[in-house]
Amino acid sequence: MTDQSSNQMWGGRFAAGPDAIMEAINASIGFDKRMAAQDIAGSRAHAAMLAATGVITDNDAEAIREGLLTVLSEIEGGTFQFSTALEDIHMNVEARLKEIIGEPAGRLHTGRSRNDQVATDFKLWVRDQLDAAESGLLALIRALLSQAEAGADWVMPGFTHLQTAQPVTWGHHMMAYVEMFGRDLSRVRDARARMNESPLGAAALAGTSFPIDREMTAKALGFDRPAANSLDAVSDRDFALEFLSCASISAVHLSRFAEELVIWSSAQFRFVTLSDRFSTGSSIMPQKKNPDAAELIRAKVGRIFGANTALMMVMKGLPLAYSKDMQEDKEQVFDAADNWMLALAAMEGMVKDMTGNRESLAAAAGSGFSTATDLADWLVRVLKVPFRDAHHVTGTLVAMAESRGCDLPDLSLADMQGVHEGITDDIFTVLGVENSVNSRMSYGGTAPAQVRAQIARWREILGG
């Protein structure tokens, strides 16, 4: 193949040749313009510090401050003209600042580099997303608490292997997700505390000879302290990886709940009714009401997991300090953040709007010999039968009930005594599903009293 024909193969999109290819691969303005507000906040803090330390004059600092506010208003108003030739948000802002205020704009970059600038911007952006995730998780937890409170004593089947296991309460099931999302909340808060160190002033990699005050800029930007090592400060993306890790684990929880809502809202289960706001109809089958929001939440996991894996692959082999590979750190985080926030909001909406079908839940709770374990426990507790023997007796009674097409409470006392002569009428006090759930009073158990205690604990944790 000739050079000319080879050129035609890749040259269609980049008609200007290698220069166009380099501009396209090097530019990040198409996505990092999302950090405009954070970039301008960092520049304003840096300029104020440069003036306070005497590196630039107060007049220059004031011109920079006013110019940056103008740039921000243009970006927020949609009139700012972004240029791929200027590569990224930092150069786009600085170039426009120079057009507005002239020479003082050239002094803004004193004592810093794009390396610490982008690390600062990205940290500020991720920190904002962690705050948004905290808000979303709190709203979802409160919605779950309301559902748990409303149905603290509603009986429903508990499952293992998606097979009926033992009766539980609706409130207990809702509170299981409160615990999951509560751990997500803890991880978000923990990640935010750990990442809250300012890279600004680390410059390219070695710090700067200018008499800057990194404590001042850190405080101005809401950081707890400046990062302690300039090499690490510009090359660290742990905060982004932690964000994606938090998002990934939370997405697992969202997806598990979404799967249950898909199952529960089906005609075969009828455990819940989802609102029309979070469902759609079929284009051809008028009887159908599809749980599309839950299904889409379930699908978001792939994108969030993919972002987590992609960034780990970007970072895994990079020597200190900065490499251009790290420009690939943002698109994955931006996409994961968008999808996590959307999934949290959608799940909160579904939980707030959904209606648990108490009658269907109760009917299912008593099916599948769900109180068999209660029978076995009674044999151990009252008759002192070894558990393995009690398990065998119970299995025999289950087989008998199954062969007759009835449930355990429908067997007669004589039937039961035919399997174990020590069984008395007292056995019927544990076989009903209401009796079963009320007896589970161990800490963290499904008894309504325990569920209400856990709701109260969480209300106290959340401050009401």
Q: What's residue 32's pLDDT?
A: 85
Q: What's residue 286's pLDDT?
A: 46
Instruction: State the pTM of this model.
Output: 0.89
CATH of domain 368-431: 1.10.40.30
DSSP string, 143-186: HHHHHHHHTTT-EEEEEETTEEEEEEEHHHHHHHHHHHHHHHHH
Question: Per-residue pLDDT for the chain (464 aa), expressed as one digit of tens each?
Answer: 444 444 444 445 555 566 777 777 878 888 889 999 999 999 999 999 999 999 999 999 999 999 999 999 999 999 999 998 888 999 999 999 999 999 999 999 999 999 999 999 999 999 999 999 999 999 999 999 999 999 999 999 999 898 887 899 999 999 999 999 999 999 999 999 999 999 999 999 999 999 999 999 999 999 999 999 999 999 999 999 999 999 999 999 999 999 999 999 998 999 999 988 887 655 455 455 788 899 999 999 999 999 999 999 999 999 999 998 998 899 999 999 999 999 999 999 999 999 999 999 999 987 767 778 888 989 999 999 999 999 999 999 999 999 999 888 889 999 999 999 999 988 888 888 888 899 889 999 999 999 999 999 999 999 96
Q: What's residue 1's pLDDT?
A: 43
Q: What's residue 464's pLDDT?
A: 66
**Cβ neighbours, 10 Å, residue 128:** 14
CATH of domain 114-364: 1.20.200.10
CA dihedral 386→387→390→391, nearest 10 degrees, is -150
Kindly report whether the peptide bond that precedes residue 321 is cis, defined as omega within 30 degrees of 0.
Answer: yes
Q: What's residue 374's pLDDT?
A: 84
**Boundaries of every domain in the chain:** 20-107, 114-364, 368-431
245 classed as catalytic: no
Q: φ and ψ at 398, to 5 degrees?
A: -60, -45
Alpha-carbon torsion (412, 418, 419, 423), positive or negative: positive
Q: What's residue 101's pLDDT?
A: 97
282 classed as catalytic: yes
Q: What's residue 273's pLDDT?
A: 92
Q: What's residue 412's pLDDT?
A: 92
Q: Which two tokens stand for residue 461?
A: 């944790």
Q: Give, in words, the CATH class of 20-107.
A: mainly alpha
Nearest CA-CA partner of 66 in 108, 111, 33: 108
DSSP string, 291-317: -HHHHHHHHHHHHHHHHHHHHHHHHTT
Q: What's residue 288's pLDDT?
A: 56
Catalytic residue among 161, 209, 403, 442: 161
Catalytic residue among 73, 83, 275, 282: 282
- Alpha-carbon distance of 347 to 297, in angstroms, equals 8
